[in-house]
Amino acid sequence: MKSIAIKQPNELVIEEREVPQPKSGEVRVRVKLAGICGSDSHIYRGHNPFAKYPRVIGHEFFGVIDAVGEGVDQSRIGERVSVDPVISCGCCYPCSVGRPNVCSSLTVLGVHRDGGFSQYAVVPSKNAYVIPNEIDDEFAVMIEPFTIAANATAQLKPTQNDVALIYGAGPMGLTSVQALKGVYNVKEVIVVDRIDERLAMAKSSGADRTINNTSLSLKDELDKLNIKPTVIIDAACHPSILQEAITIASPAARILIMGFSSDPCQITQQGITSKELSIFSSRLNANKFPIVIDWLNKKLIDPKKLITHRFDYTDVVQAIQTFEKDQKQCCKVLLTFS
């Protein structure tokens, strides 16, 4: 089989490997589609502190089960599945409180263990979620990105009366827009970005208002509009954003950060405590695949609005470069394996 492996930072190869055999409790997936995420690019470029090399990247993938290991029912062969990349121990404190995404011995497919940019991938049976026939392949491969929004909104608990502001109109921001509008019917969703083309994608995904903050003060603009956001999501992931979010937030607002920056972030406690703000963070997803599958079944979200590019897996270098460089037109890039 062919696999896309990062040998070391900036060294990507498509190499021949033996087709893996599923062990006890595992299934083998013949991969049909995979999505490129920022973390794949970061591993390729050597910017992901968790990655070990060499590594087959890819944690957003969909395919068909073609073999099962011991203890897995043979009837699973032939199932269309989307794979949750989060592998947890089930025993530690985070797992015991329903947070397997921050398991003490967390393993993420495509980061700590070989992932889905391969013609075949072996994964735990419980991580392979059956996709109803009504959900097409390209929607199925987009489930994992939407679980990021599902995980975030599960913590924020949005309501119809909220006014939400999202920093960043990339994939994480746009999945959040669709969740807030399509699932939670939030009254107003505002998206802030510095690229007009991305703001247009935000409008297409359901944003009520967009703001290009390249040359204006976001606080002044919101003051002019008499808007105090009650929910704020930082999907742009820059350390400077949190303090601004604290400043512009309504009293009793909820703020959620998705960023993984190791740079210091300076904030003032008074701004948090005086308004009794709640600050959350969100990583990966905690058993959110069934939730997103339900959203798709009910047609509450539309992943096709985010898919902008498709490549054969043999053109993966061009695909990653497009993802990295075409910030105006590119959102989600899919790779075809079969």
Contact call for residues 302 and 178 (beta carbons, < 8 A): yes
Here the CATH number for the domain that contains residue 193 is 3.40.50.720
Q: Is the pTM of this model over 0.85?
A: yes
| List of E strands, 125-244 | 128-130, 163-167, 188-193, 209-212, 231-234
Chain-wide mean pLDDT for the chain?
A: 97
Length of the chain: 338
Residue at 200 is within a domain: yes
Q: How confident is the model at residue 251 (pLDDT cuts 50, 70, 90)?
A: very high
In this predicted model, what pLDDT tens digit does every residue of 39-67 receive, in sequence order? Answer: 999 999 999 988 989 999 999 999 999 99
Q: How many domains does the chain have?
A: 2
**311 and 261 within one domain:** no
Which residue range is the domain that position 68 belongs to?
2-130+302-336
Residue at 141 is within a domain: no
pLDDT at 216: 96
Interatomic CA distance for residues 33 and 97, integer angstroms: 33
Residue at 135 is within a domain: no
**164 and 39 within one domain:** no
Bridge-based pairing of strands 55-56 and 60-68 is unpaired
Here the CATH number for the domain that contains residue 39 is 3.90.180.10
Residue at 295 is within a domain: no
**203 and 83 within one domain:** no
**117 and 173 within one domain:** no
What backbone phi and psi angles, to 5 degrees, belong to 86?
A: -85, 115
**67 and 102 within one domain:** yes
Residue at 289 is within a domain: no
**315 and 237 within one domain:** no
**How many other C-beta atoms lie within 10 A of the C-beta of residue 199?**
19
**261 and 154 within one domain:** yes
